[in-house]
Structure formats: structure tokens, C-alpha cells
Amino acid sequence: MEKIVFATNNAHKLAEIRQMLGSRWQVLSLAEIGCHDDIPETAETFEGNALQKARWIKDKYGYDCFADDSGLEVDALGGAPGIHSARYSGVHGDDTANNEKLLGELVGIADRHARFRCCIALLRGNDAPAFFEGVVEGEIIDRPTGIAGFGYDPLFRPDGWECTFAQAGADEKNAVSHRGRAVEKLAEYLAAACN
């Protein structure tokens, strides 16, 4: 098995990626390589932040690594909250406050179109960085609906769906989500790279 680090400690993301990459890869979390660093995310783009995280691990710990960065882009807000999605309300990771802030910003605005975007950066051997992007288009509804998932899921209804991500099961969401699509591309790339 080839070892590769996924620069996260998010158990849900780890389980998803381990399942998709299969038995050929031993996917290690940050905790599993003894990394408890506060890895900087100071870039202006999802790509830049993902690469910054992967580069940190590769340079400091020597492992091949991939990292992801994702967020919500709302057209009427010029792409906000974007890379600031996790801390839109000012408090990092306060989903309820972030959702309230988003609804407040959209009061009276008819154009509710939005998308989730995910970028994965991969650093393998001495290869140039490889990037994998996934996007899911949808709209922001008027009030939080559903209790599954996290983040902006209760406000996001994907195009063609009758319900929000927070009303869907994990498998249903992963099949169309920004992260699911980016991970699928990464898995295809790694499978081809190993043949």
C-alpha cells in the first residue's frame, strides 16, 4: 500500500475518501502523522489554500499529500462568502450564525443562485501540483430546512432537487456534491497513475 496524507482530521471526509480510493492507498490523517500544526490558509483562492496546506505537509513531514478547500459562492454577493465561508459571521465554524448572516445579506434579493466549490491539490513525488475541482450549482432558500450535513446545507437546494442538502442522506449528497465530484476526479487520477 502507498501512503498518502489527506491534510484533514475531519472523520467524515476521511471515511469518504478511504472508501473511494480503495485498498491500494493507505490514507493518513494529520493526527496519524503526528501533525497538530495550525496550518496557515492565507491564500486568496480555494486552489491557493489547498496547495498551501498540501505544501506544508510535504515540506515539513515528507509525505505525499493532498488537501482540500471548499466553500459557498453566492452570485448576488459577488461570490461571497467564498474562501471566508467557515467564518462568514466572524466566528469560525459557527454554522448557525453563518446561515443567519447569509439570509440577512440576501433579504429582498431575488437572484438566489449559488454554488459550492471544492478544490483538491495533490503533491506526489516531485511532480508539479495537480488540481481537481468539483462544483454543484443550486440556490439559497428563504429559511434553514433539514438537519443533516453541516455548514450551509440547510439553505442550499441543488438545481433539480426538491429539497436541501440538509434533507438528503450522505450518499445522496456525496453523489452530486462539490467534494464528491472533486474526490472522484482525484480517485480517477490516482488509479491511472498507479497502472
Whether 38 is a known active-site residue: answer no
Check residue 138 for interaction with ligand IMP (CB under 6 A): no
Q: Label residue 72 exposed, middle or buried (CB < 10 Å: 0-12, 13-18, 19+).
A: buried
Check residue 72 for interaction with ligand IMP (CB under 6 A): yes
Per the DSSP assignment, residues forming a β-bridge with 112 are none
Check residue 52 for interaction with ligand IMP (CB under 6 A): no
Check residue 73 for interaction with ligand IMP (CB under 6 A): no
Closest residue to ligand IMP: CB criterion: 151
d(CA 150, CA 155): 10
Check residue 144 for interaction with ligand IMP (CB under 6 A): no
Single out the residue of 73, 83, 68, 82 nearest to residue 186, CA to CA. Answer: 68
Interstrand relation of 25-28 and 2-6 (parallel, antiparallel or unpaired): parallel
Single out the residue of 57, 64, 60 nearest to residue 122, CA to CA. Answer: 64
Catalytic residue among 69, 75, 127, 142: 69
Site string for ligand IMP, 12-51 (x = CB under 6 A): ----------------------------------------
Least gap, CB of 72 to ligand IMP (angstroms): 6
What is residue 91's three-state secondary structure?
A: coil
Which residues have a catalytic role annotated?
69
Give residues in contact with ligand IMP (CB under 6 A).
69-72, 85-86, 98, 116, 149-153, 165, 177, 179
